Each structure stands twice: as structure tokens, then as C-alpha cells.
């Protein structure tokens, strides 16, 4: 495996001035747009970290479905492992890594449940088969066989064969309201750029600090 840090410089070094950004949301939007143009798939994929009741951490990928100054939204089964942990602690960390761009964004914050109307609107926008899947999957609980899942899909497909597929009460969105957002960009010889925005609450001003790599 090559170590690009010690060898040729990475291809993209034109973004050193991202550290001039006075606030994180427009910068995040610009980086997500770059990722959308450059990454081979799922530019909106992010890791979500949570902890259980003993403080043991866990992490998994989800897809960012909306973001604005209010926070970063993803959808899931609230009875899943992550669902139960986030409902218990109301704290999460998010991580984006765009390999092609050699960029990373780290977010830490508090967790809110999105409004029912927002979850309904997103659920309605999903493919019908995905909506049926949300009913059929008891996410994170033991599944005796692939056949049992396919049977559940067939049963819910019949149940909702006519008309709209309603959103299950246990399926909704979490909004991570950021308290810190760190932008990292690869630079040669591990002398990376890191800029962290921090605020003490959702209505406070952002403070910006540059960090050693
Ligand atoms: C790229 C990618 C995107 C994913 N997006 C979601 C998502 O948006 N929501 C979700 O519930 N699971 C998503 N998953 C599956 C989760 O990583 C995870 O397997 C599942 O949610 C169960 O996690 P838990 O047991 O920690 O609750 C995604 C997986 C990958 C690899």
C-alpha cells in the first residue's frame, strides 16, 4: 500500500482558503457539492456514532437526507440499536470522509426527532418497495432466515397493495443539531488543514479555531 502522505502530493490543493469561511454551513454545502461531483457513490453517506447505556460506543453508516442551519437529518428505525441509543442519550457524532477529495468533516451535537410532517413527507418520497421494507424490517433484531424477511415483505406488500403505504410509527428521522463541526483537508507530509467551528447552543454564534494537524 502506498503512503501518499510521504510520496507525491495529493492532486487537489486548491482549497487551502476554506479556512477563511466565517461559518460552517455554506462551507459544508460547498464540500458536499464537490463530493456529489467527484465521489463514485453515496456522497451523502456518513458514519453516525452513538453510545449505549454503559458508555460503549458504536458506529454505522447512514445517508444524510437534509441539512440546513437547524441540523443534519437522517432516517431510520427508532427501534434499531442506534434508534434506541440516540433516543436515550440525545447525543451523536457524525463523520463524512470523501476519499476522492481527501476531505473529512466531523460533527458532534445533540439529537432531536424530526417533526411528523417532515418524516411523512420524506417517507412518501421513497420508492414503494422501500416503504414496504420499512414495515417488514425489525431493524437490528435477530432474523431467523432470509426467507422470513422475504415473507414479511410479501405480507406487507399484500396488506398495502391498494393505496398509500403509511409511515410506520417507529420509522422517522433524527436531526443532529451541531455544536462542533470540523473541516479537515489533506495536505502533503501530514501537515493537514483543520478548522473547527464551535458554539455553545443552537442560537449562539460560531467560534472558529485552526487546529494542529
Ligand atoms: C452507505 C450506507 C448507507 C446506509 N444508510 C442507512 C440509513 O440511511 N438509515 C438506516 O437506518 N440504515 C442505513 N444503513 C445501514 C446501517 O449502516 C446499519 O446497518 C443499520 O441502520 C442498523 O444499524 P444499528 O443496528 O446500529 O441501528 C446504511 C448502510 C450503508 C453502508
pLDDT of residue 119: 98
Does ligand 1 lie within 6 Å of residue 119's CB atom?
no
| 117 assigned to some structural domain | yes
pLDDT of residue 112: 98
| 2 assigned to some structural domain | no
pLDDT of residue 1: 40
- CATH number of 49's domain: 2.30.110.10
Q: Tell me, in angstroms, the distance from the centre of ligand 1 to residue 167's CA.
A: 18
Q: Which residue, among 84, 97, 110, has the nearest Cα to 47 in the 3D structure?
A: 97
Residues (pLDDT < 70) of the chain are 1-16
pLDDT of residue 17: 84
pLDDT of residue 202: 85
Could you say which of 128, 141, 190, 210 is catalytic? Answer: 190
The count of structural domains within the chain is 1
Express each pLDDT in 54-88 by its tens digit: 999 999 999 999 999 999 999 999 999 999 999 99
Terminal-to-terminal C-alpha distance of the chain: 22
Express each pLDDT in 133-149 by its tens digit: 999 999 999 999 999 99
Task: Give the C-alpha separation, 189 to 104, whole Å.
Answer: 17
User: Which residues span the domain enclosing 124?
Assistant: 16-210
| 202 assigned to some structural domain | yes
Q: Which of 60, 73, 131 to mutate to test the pocket of ligand 1 (most atoms within 8 A of CB)?
A: 60
Does ligand 1 lie within 6 Å of residue 15's CB atom?
no
Q: Report yes or no: 100 and 40 within 8 Å, Cβ to Cβ.
A: yes
Does ligand 1 lie within 6 Å of residue 81's CB atom?
yes
Does ligand 1 lie within 6 Å of residue 158's CB atom?
no
Task: Give the C-alpha separation, 146 to 6, whole Å.
Answer: 46
Q: Report yes or no: 119 and 112 within 8 Å, Cβ to Cβ.
A: no
| 171 assigned to some structural domain | yes
Residues whose CB is less than 8 angstroms from the CB of residue 162 and which lie 6 or more positions away in sequence, other chains included: none
| 3 assigned to some structural domain | no
| 154 assigned to some structural domain | yes
Listed in order, strand segments (DSSP E) in the chain are: 45-51, 57-63, 66-68, 71-77, 91-98, 103-113, 171-185, 193-198, 207-210
| 1 assigned to some structural domain | no
The answer to whether residue 190 is catalytic is yes
| 5 assigned to some structural domain | no
Amino acid at each position: 500500500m502506498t503512503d501518499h502522505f510521504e510520496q507525491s502530493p495529493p492532486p487537489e490543493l486548491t482549497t487551502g482558503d476554506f479556512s477563511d469561511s466565517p461559518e460552517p454551513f455554506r462551507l459544508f454545502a460547498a464540500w458536499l457539492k464537490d463530493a456529489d461531483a467527484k465521489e463514485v457513490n453515496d456522497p451523502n453517506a456518513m458514519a453516525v456514532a452513538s453510545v449505549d447505556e454503559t458508555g460503549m460506543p458504536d458506529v454505522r453508516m447512514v445517508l444524510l437526507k437534509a441539512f440546513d442551519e437547524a441540523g443534519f437529518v437522517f432516517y431510520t428505525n427508532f427501534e434499531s440499536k442506534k434508534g434506541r441509543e440516540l433516543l436515550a442519550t440525545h447525543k451523536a457524532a457524525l463523520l463524512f470522509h470523501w476519499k476522492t477529495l481527501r476531505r473529512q468533516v466531523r460533527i458532534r451535537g445533540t439529537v432531536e426527532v424530526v417533526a411528523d410532517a417532515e418524516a411523512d413527507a420524506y417517507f412518501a418520497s421513497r420508492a414503494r418497495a422501500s416503504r414496504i421494507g420499512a414495515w417488514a424490517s425489525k431493524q437490528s433484531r435477530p432474523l431467523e432466515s432470509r426467507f422470513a424477511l422475504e415473507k414479511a415483505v410479501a405480507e406487507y406488500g399484500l396488506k398495502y397493495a391498494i393505496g398509500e403505504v403509511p409511515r410506520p410509527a417507529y420509522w422517522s428521522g433524527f436531526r443532529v443539531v451541531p455544536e462542533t463541526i470540523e473541516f479537515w483537508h489533506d495536505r502533503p507530509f501530514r501537515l493537514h488543514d483543520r478548522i473547527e467551528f464551535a458554539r455553545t447552543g443552537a442560537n449562539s454564534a460560531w467560534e472558529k479555531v485552526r487546529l494542529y494537524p
